[in-house]
Structure formats: structure tokens, C-alpha cells
Structure 1
Amino acid sequence: MPRAFARVVLARALAAARAPVAHAARRLAVARPPCAAKSTAAAAASDRGDVRVGDEVSVECVDFATSGEGVCKLANGMVLLCDGATPGEVVRARVTKLRKKLAHGAKTATERAAPNAVTAPCPHHEQCGGCAWQHVNYDAQVGHKRNRVVDVLARIYKAGEDAEAKVGACVGADETSRYRNKMEFAFASGTRGKTVVGLRPRGANDSVVDLSGGCLLQSEEADRVLAAIRETLERADGRLEAFDRTSGEGTLRSVTIRTAGGERGGEKAVMVDLATTASPNELKTGPLAGLIDVVSKVPGVVSVVHTSGGTTTKAGSTKKVEAVFGENKLVETLNGIDFELSSASFFQTNTEQAARLVRQVREACAFSGDKSEIVLDLFCGVGTMGLSVASDCSRVMGWEVVPEAVKDAKRNAELNNITNAKFYRVDLARLNPSKGPKGLLTTPKGKELPMPDIVITDPARPGMDSALIAILRTIGARRIVYVSCNPATQARDLLLLTAPSEGADDVAYELKTVTPVDMFPHTTHVESVAVLERKA
């Protein structure tokens, strides 16, 4: 695809992604806007009738926004995004922010309950920012997530009424609690000069919700670690201070608790990653050393690592990571394949649903059965997708920019005795489309690789770069399986991949199906697997 044409299509797709939503099924996927200045709100008040910040209004919630807020309509026609409102519920809401065509509010009371409303099982639900939809029946959650995928396909990909037929049923989860294998918690200053650990409250970054009852998203083993940390901080009586990003003072930044194991019937193992500003001496003596000792003795903990300094960039992490108990290693099993994970490794945080996602991808690849296909695995991470399909094909070629992930992928291939999968470090956001297939199918050492039959791509939330899409169209693999955690950018990229061909060296694709997968129950997030076939 010529770059100029790609830019035009991309610009149109981006404009569609940013446009206000007015889908026929009343789905309003409105992004959270920046806060409006009070003077702007006052100046535009005459355009909105008598609605002002601080007013209480009675409104009916008709849908969910992508942010998890309820979408309501004010009497003057303005959209009100109301935190805590559920579709079908009539609420009293206090207006907290105003823009020209959009308002924000917070629920103060329920006047009529929603038909799909349930009592949130977590005592911290009202304050914590972790589970926006815990108060909604799970079947309804799955339905809303499918609707979101249908909406972006209709609106951004321009599928219109065909979007409903393209999108399959959302693959729901059997377990909606204790499903996360990794959670990151923050530290903050609490009352009486003591330090607390928990999750950030909704809309705030300078405090935390003290999770006295634990977190229902993570394993019971991880909850025991969190409880041990809370108790140690209570006894420390302020001697372990939370890091203050404003002043630069304090020690404790965050703690990440990772759980692995269980698929083969064994006991679960836990890795704890403490991120602090501490010096090496503080890891050996003093309050922090005492905290590390307590954590290492919690049943199930096999590894405690300490992370200090540095930042994470596209080239990798410059942080210093040191194992202070055990090794910086944890082994997770997915569909019979073992993955050795370090503290910095990316791995899907819902192991059970990740197994279903991988099975969905394998089915979407539509392998011939003779193991002849060559697979190109883009944004391969630790090799989860590529290694999972290696037994179905002749060769897997994996691309990833993060060097630690590439090392993990190579090690995981060795761990499972998989010899037909190779992984390379390549920045897929810095490709030269003028080189055609060679711009992608060349190793860092200059070796040319064969043309793939199937492409699996699993980019981060921003989606794929237009140059990468242009190269994929020149390669012309018979099938592309596109996994995404952001349906909006996926729909934008699908528009580019299916745009009309511009010549013999530019292959257009046809979108066959999109399958939503609920990786994160009780949240607004949804994964989706799109299948594209090369047009004749």
C-alpha cells in the first residue's frame, strides 16, 4: 500500500475513532475528556439550560461508556457520564464537570434499580478503582463487552449493520474472582503517620484504598502476602515511608505480587517484586530488610525481587532488578506449555482465559494439518502465541522489541524442547515500508527470512503502525489473526488492512470474524480476535 494512501486511510480512521458516538443501538462509547476550567463551564452555561456544576439531577442510565461510567441523558439533551450508574437504573447524580456537549457526574442515590444490578461482593468496591463493573450481573457484563466491539466495528471500521453479523459471542470466564495472576499495589501515607498499601481510588493518583479485606481479584496465596505487608507496615509505625513523587522523599514505591502454577495440580508459587528507592545496605538491615524477611516466609512465596531506579522505554528497562530471596523466576503452564517468567516478563494476567484465547487463535489460524505453514508472530512477548502453535506448523518467526521478552521467549522454546521457533528483537514501530517484505522479513543480522503463510499479531493498546500494515499488505500472507486489547485501534487497523488494493504488490484483506474474549471480569476491558483472509 503506498504510504500516501495509507496516511489518508489512517487519518480517516483516526477521525472516526475520535468522533462522538451515535450508534443505532444507543451505544455511546465516549472517551473521558479532560477537565474543563470553571470559567469555560460558566461561559457556556447558557447553552445548557440551567445545569451547573453542583446541581443534582434525576437521570436514566442507558449504556456504559468505555471508561466504565454510565451514559445518561440530561433533560436538555446533553450526555452525562455518571460514575456508578448502571444501564436501566434511574439515579440521582451530582454534576461534577461540564463541557460544551458533555457533563460528568457522580451517583448520590438510586431511584430505580437496574434489572442487571447485583450487590458487589467486595467491601472496597465503592472506593477502589480496580473493578468498575462488580455491581453488574456477569452475563450483562459479557453482553456489554460484545456490544462495545460491535459498536467500534460499525463506527470506526465502517461495517455499519454488518458489524452485528461479524462479531461472535463473547467468550466469558468460568471464574470471575481470584482470576488474576498478577496485581500491582501502591504505597501511600495513611493516618497517624503510618504507611498503607492498596489500590488507587477512582480518579486519584496520590492516595490508596487500604485493602483491609484483601483483593478478590488475586489468589488467596497473593492475599496472604498482601496481609503480611499490611501487618508489617502497621508494626513499623511510620519507619517505612511511602515514596512521594512530588517531594522525591520516601522509600516504598509499589509491590507486585505474581502467582503461577495450578494447571497440573501442583501448589501455586508466588513471586513478590518490591519497587523502592532503598540503598543496597537497606536491603540487608533495618525496616525494609525486616519487611523482605516477613514476605519471604509467607507460605507459597518462592521469590522476592527488588526493583530500584531507572525507567522503562521501547528499548527495554533500565531498572535494576535483584533477587533478594530465591531466583527471579516463576514457571507458569498454559495449555501444557511451560513459560518461565521473570519479574519484568509480560504474560496474560488471567491464565484460564489466556488458555482459551490461545485456543481461539489456534483455531483462527486454520492450519492445514500437514504442518507445512510458516507463522510470523508479531509482538510475540515471551512467545505465548508462537510457542502454542509451533506444533501445528513448520516454522515460527517471532518479533519483539523488549530485549528481556526476547530472552524469555528463547528460553521458553528451550524449556519445552521446541526447535522450530526463533525469536528476534525488532522495533515494529520503526520499519521502512519502501523495502517491501524485506523491511520486515530480515533479521537484525541481515539474514532474509521466508514469506509467512499466517501472521499472528498482538500489539499493545495503540495498535499497529501504518508502515507495518503497509508491509503486511505487500507480504500478502493468506491469513492474519489480529489479537487486540483495544477494539477501537483494532478497528482502525482493520480499515487499513481491508482497504482496496492499489496494485499487484498490494494485497487487500477481507474481515471474516471478530470474537470478543473477556480476559478481565468486572472491568470495562475486553480482548478481541479478528480473522482476515487475503482477497484473490
Structure 2
Amino acid sequence: MRLRHACARLARVGARSRPSHQPHRPMTRVPLHAASVGDVYTVECVDLASTGEGVCRLPDGLVLLCANTAPGEVLEVELSSVGRSFARGMKLSSVRASPSCVTPPCRHYARCGGCAWQHVDYETQRERKGRTVREALTRVGRFVDGDDLTSACVGTKETTRYRNKMEFAFGSDASGGVVVGLRPRGTNDSIVDLEFGCLLQSEAADDVLSAVRASLKRVRGRIDAFDRTTGKGTLRSVTIRTATSGDGKRSLMVDLATTASEKELTSGALAELIADITKHEAVTSVVHTTVPAEAELRRAGVGRSAKFVKGGKKPISKRKVVTLYGENKIVETLHGVKFELSSASFFQTNTEQAARLVREVVAGCGFAGDRSETVLDLFCGVGTMGLSVASNAKRVIGWEVVPEAVEDARRNAEINGITNADFYRVDLSRLNPSKGTKALLTTPQGDVLPMPDIVITDPARPGMDASLIAILRTIGARRIVYVSCNPATQARDLALITAPSQGSQDAAYVLKLCTPVDMFPHTAHVESVAVLDRINA
């Protein structure tokens, strides 16, 4: 949501300035046009922003963002920054509670940046996510019927323990020991020590995190954390991935990312940490990823709220991965399909909701039921969507830029006995539209592929390149199913796909439906599945 479009109304009781040297002295009136850092206002929260913060307004109409509030709450806020288009503030007290506020289930929530909306009841979260998609369609895509085209957000039964993969960072505590946890809100250079675990991941994964914490105490003083500002130190992060087999059995993969040498992996404090991890009965794989001993952060410029921002030396694109225990693979089951995942594989991090997402995609494809259709699967990754619909199709053709993902997709097809799916590597952001259909329907070996009846596209947050959209309109499949994790870029692309036809070789489409799916409870993130039909198909 663009800040200048934030829908809010003012409920101001007063505005005061608090002198820093005499905190108990009566506060003086602040002119409506002179808001500055340190001023205190009483405002009402009227909405939730895409950042997860509450949206309020100052008396002069300036948008004010504040964390840990919810629509309907009247609160006292001290301004922490004031810009030309919006301000941010810190909540001092609640004057009137919000009916949407609940007690956060996590004891780390006040500081941890892993969640933004634990203090907001789930129905309010779900409604806001649906509205995010609707607003993107109407404001970015300029669809006058955006509200009617957007269905209710598909919610989830489980709002905790839903993530199958979590990455935790290592850091130093005040006494020089190593701690492991997540970053605080708005900060890149410190760590919230997760003493009580993380409610986003499985209990089995939490047990492993607890074992890591206990091991760090035992090796205290013999190993240090990686410093992202200098590139010095050893322990950078630990990623815990949980997979659930068809019979419900849990298995875990643990990926330690460090700057350590091969020798340090077999003796000393790091080797002891690795041994402690392997003792957990659910751990079936432990791998080590080597990271360069280079700074990842640089000092922020003047006016930035954070001390450090990303932008140190550019990390190497391919890191060395060594298997220390078991194999570098773990098997997850989704929609009846087994997916063999390596430590580097991308996979939807909420398996239960991913199954609902796949069901929306299958329904959106509108298969005839006779397995006569060819499906073009763009940005296919490890084959999640394409392999999930293969049983409904005559043929699936997948395109993906990451070579390791292409290999994963091919292997996943093989282990499932799926013979009607082929996967190829291509950079979908660098296609030449002058080649027409050949740009997407020719293999790297020069073989001509059949025209698709259905296109499934699932791009990353930046969305699709205009050249790709032009080629899709040239191909003219009868239906396009567009899966997105960014409502704004999806709406932008949908506007291009549905633009009027420019000739007989340029198919136009109509948007039939857009369904939001909540993949990440307690955050502002939302996925959506849009279904488009070719006009005069």
C-alpha cells in the first residue's frame, strides 16, 4: 500500500512536546504544522500497513506509522522520525484498546522481527490481506471491478508452527558469548536470543534450536559469531528445515553456514556443535555451507533509522556445500507428490497452505478432464506446480533460470514416476519478443515445443518482464494462471496482460478471478492466484 493512499481518519485528543531534560514538566502545545522528532501525539490507529505497522494520521494529515497497534486503538505516540510523506513513532501507552488486539503467543514478540502481527487477531489479519490484493488491483492495475474480482482470502487453521524452514543468525551477547536467534525489527546488526524457541517452526525444529543454544554454552569462548559489518568471525547462520512424509513422520535437515576451514569441521568447538546436532533423533541430514569472510553490511547514511544496511562486498553466487551427516536431501510430500529437496532448494515454507495454494491453481487451470491439455509452467522452481498438475495434463513444460532447481525438478519427476513433464533452463527476464512463440516454445537444443493450452506463471516478487508478457500474448493460451507473492507487481502485470489487442497475433485476456491465500500468518505477506481467460478463445 502506498503511504500517500493510506486510508485513515484522525481521532486526536491532543498533541504535546516532551522536553528531554524535564520529563515530568507539563507538556506544551505543538503547532499543527511543526511536527518533529520527540513530539507526543494522541492518535487513533485506523488501518494496517503492508509493513505490518499501524496507520494513523497527525493533525496536519501526515501519515504516521507505529508498530504494535491495531485498528480502533487510541494511543499515545512519540515521533521517532518525520519525513516529507510520512512519519514513524513509538507507542508510549494505550488510551483505548482495539477490539482487534490480542495477547501475542510468543514471549519474544516485543523485540523479535520474525512476526509483525501477533498482537492482531487472525480474522483481522486475513481480512487485511484480502484487502491488500483488492487495493492493488484497483490502484495499481486500475481494475474498476477489483473488489468484485477478488474472492475472500483463503485462511489457515494453524497460525503457529506452520513454517517448514527457518534461518537463524548467530551473534554475540554483551559478555562475548555466542547467541542464536532472529533479527530485531528494523535492525541488521544484532540478535534476539530465542531462549524460549520460535513458534513459527515445528516443535522438533525447536528442539534442535535448543540443542544449538545448549552446545554454544558448552563451547563458550572457543568459537565466535560472524560479524556482518566486518566479515570476521565464524558462525553466520543455522537453517533448520522440516519435512513431513506421507505417514506423518518428521525429518530435519540442518544447514550450518560458517567461514570455517575443513579442519575446523572435524575437530574443535565447531565439530562439537555439529556432533550435538546429529544426536537429535529427527535429524537425518547436516550440511555445511561455506560463506566468504567478507562484510555483508555497510554503515547507513544520514537519515537512516538503522545503523547498518545491506551492501558490503558482493557475496559469491555459488557457495561450497559439504554433507557432514546423512545425505544432502530431504523429502517433502505435497498434493500427493514427493519432492526431494537439497539445502539450496526453494520450496514453499508453509506446506499445509501450499497444498491449498496448489488446489487453487488446479481449480484455476480448469482442466477438461481428459488429459488433453499442454501446460507451460513458468518460473517452475523444483517443479512444485507443474508436477502437481501433471496428472491432469497431457504434457507439462517447465522453464526455470536456476540450474540446480531444474535438476531438482527433473529428479522429482523421476522419483514420482511422472513421464509427461520436462524441465528446461532459461532466463525468463531476458527473452527476445521479436522471436515470437519460438522464444518460449523452442528447447535449448532447438526442438520445437507444442503450443500450450494453459500457462502457469509463478514469478518472484519483481513480477514478469514486459517482454515475457508480450510473448505470452503472442502464444495466446486459452487460460493463464498467475501465482504471485507481491500483489502490486501482479496487478501491474495483469493490467498488461488484459490490455486491448493490437492485432491478430496479440491475444487479449480478461481477468476472471483473483484469490488471496494467506501463507504467512502474523506477517503482512500474502500470495494470490489470478485466473485469466483469452478473449474469444
- TM-score, scaled to structure 1: 0.90
Separation (CA, whole Å) in 2 of partners of 1:183 and 1:108: 32
3-state secondary structure, aligned to 2:287: strand
Instruction: Answer yes or no: is 1:298 the counterpart of 2:277.
Output: no
1:318 is displaced (CA, Å) by 1.0
Match of 2:494 in 1: 494
Separation (CA, whole Å) in 2 of partners of 1:19 and 1:292: 46
Counterparts of 1:210-289 in structure 2 under 5 Å?
Answer: 210-262=193-245, 264-289=246-271
Match of 2:20 in 1: none
100-109 or 179-188: bigger deviation? 100-109
Instruction: Answer yes or no: is 1:164 the counterpart of 2:153.
Output: no
3-state secondary structure, aligned to 1:398: strand
Aligned sequence identity (%): 64
Counterparts of 1:337-356 in structure 2 under 5 Å?
Answer: 337-356=337-356
Match of 1:508 in 2: 508
Counterparts of 1:25-424 in structure 2 under 5 Å?
Answer: 49-160=33-144, 162-262=145-245, 264-309=246-291, 317-424=317-424
Residue identity matched to 1:140 = T
Separation (CA, whole Å) in 1 of partners of 2:266 and 2:206: 25
Residue identity matched to 2:98 = A
Separation (CA, whole Å) in 2 of partners of 1:207 and 1:105: 21
Query: Contact conserved, 2:339 with 2:412, CA < 8 A, in 1?
Result: yes
What is the RMSD computed on CA atoms of the aligned residues? Answer: 2.0
In the TM superposition, what whole-angstrom CA distance separates every residue of 1:214-241 from its partner, at most 9, and x where no partner exists? Answer: 0001000100110011111112123221
Separation (CA, whole Å) in 1 of partners of 2:402 and 2:280: 32
Separation (CA, whole Å) in 1 of partners of 2:6 and 2:273: 53
Separation (CA, whole Å) in 1 of partners of 2:247 and 2:317: 34
3-state secondary structure, aligned to 1:191: coil
Residue identity matched to 1:249 = K
487-496 or 244-253: bigger deviation? 244-253
Separation (CA, whole Å) in 2 of partners of 1:18 and 1:70: 14
Separation (CA, whole Å) in 2 of partners of 1:303 and 1:141: 36
Residue identity matched to 1:228 = A
- Residues 230, 22 of structure 1: CA spacing in aligned structure 2 closer, same or farther, 3 A cutoff? closer
Separation (CA, whole Å) in 2 of partners of 1:318 and 1:309: 9
Query: Contact conserved, 1:214 with 1:223, CA < 8 A, in 2?
Result: yes
1:22 is displaced (CA, Å) by 5.5
1:108 is displaced (CA, Å) by 1.6
Separation (CA, whole Å) in 2 of partners of 1:294 and 1:488: 45
Separation (CA, whole Å) in 2 of partners of 1:19 and 1:144: 15
3-state secondary structure, aligned to 1:356: helix
Match of 1:31 in 2: none
1:191 is displaced (CA, Å) by 2.1
3-state secondary structure, aligned to 2:344: coil
Query: Contact conserved, 1:84 with 1:106, CA < 8 A, in 2?
Result: no
Separation (CA, whole Å) in 1 of partners of 2:31 and 2:120: 34
3-state secondary structure, aligned to 1:193: coil
Aligned residues: 498
Choose between structure 1 and 2: higher helix proportion.
1
Separation (CA, whole Å) in 1 of partners of 2:505 and 2:134: 32
1:56 is displaced (CA, Å) by 1.5
Separation (CA, whole Å) in 1 of partners of 2:31 and 2:86: 12
3-state secondary structure, aligned to 1:332: strand
Match of 1:42 in 2: none
In the TM superposition, what whole-angstrom CA distance separates every residue of 1:425-471 from its partner, at most 9, and x where no partner exists? Answer: 11001100010110111111121111100000000000001110010
Query: Contact conserved, 2:365 with 2:479, CA < 8 A, in 1?
Result: yes
Separation (CA, whole Å) in 2 of partners of 1:205 and 1:269: 31
More relative contact order, 1 or 2 (CA 8 Å, 6+ apart): 1
Query: Contact conserved, 1:508 with 1:534, CA < 8 A, in 2?
Result: yes
Residue identity matched to 1:304 = V
3-state secondary structure, aligned to 1:114: coil
Match of 1:38 in 2: none
In the TM superposition, what whole-angstrom CA distance separates every residue of 1:26-58 from its partner, at most 9, and x where no partner exists? Answer: 59xxxxxxxxxxxxxxxxxx9961311011111
Query: Contact conserved, 2:481 with 2:531, CA < 8 A, in 1?
Result: yes
Separation (CA, whole Å) in 2 of partners of 1:284 and 1:229: 17
3-state secondary structure, aligned to 1:49: coil
Structure 2, unaligned stretches of length 5 or more?
10-29, 297-315
Residue identity matched to 2:165 = K
Separation (CA, whole Å) in 1 of partners of 2:249 and 2:139: 47
Residue identity matched to 1:530 = A
Match of 1:20 in 2: 4
3-state secondary structure, aligned to 1:192: coil
In the TM superposition, what whole-angstrom CA distance separates every residue of 1:312-355 from its partner, at most 9, and x where no partner exists? Answer: 9xxx9511011101100000001211000000000000000000
- TM-score, scaled to structure 2: 0.90
3-state secondary structure, aligned to 1:196: strand
In the TM superposition, what whole-angstrom CA distance separates every residue of 1:218-270 from its partner, at most 9, and x where no partner exists? Answer: 000100110011111112123221111222210011110000015x2342000
Separation (CA, whole Å) in 1 of partners of 2:58 and 2:6: 16
Match of 1:457 in 2: 457
Separation (CA, whole Å) in 1 of partners of 2:485 and 2:508: 24
Query: Contact conserved, 2:169 with 2:183, CA < 8 A, in 1?
Result: yes
3-state secondary structure, aligned to 1:117: coil
3-state secondary structure, aligned to 2:70: coil
Query: Contact conserved, 1:90 with 1:111, CA < 8 A, in 2?
Result: yes
- Residues 418, 325 of structure 1: CA spacing in aligned structure 2 closer, same or farther, 3 A cutoff? same
Residue identity matched to 1:58 = T
- Residues 18, 472 of structure 1: CA spacing in aligned structure 2 closer, same or farther, 3 A cutoff? farther
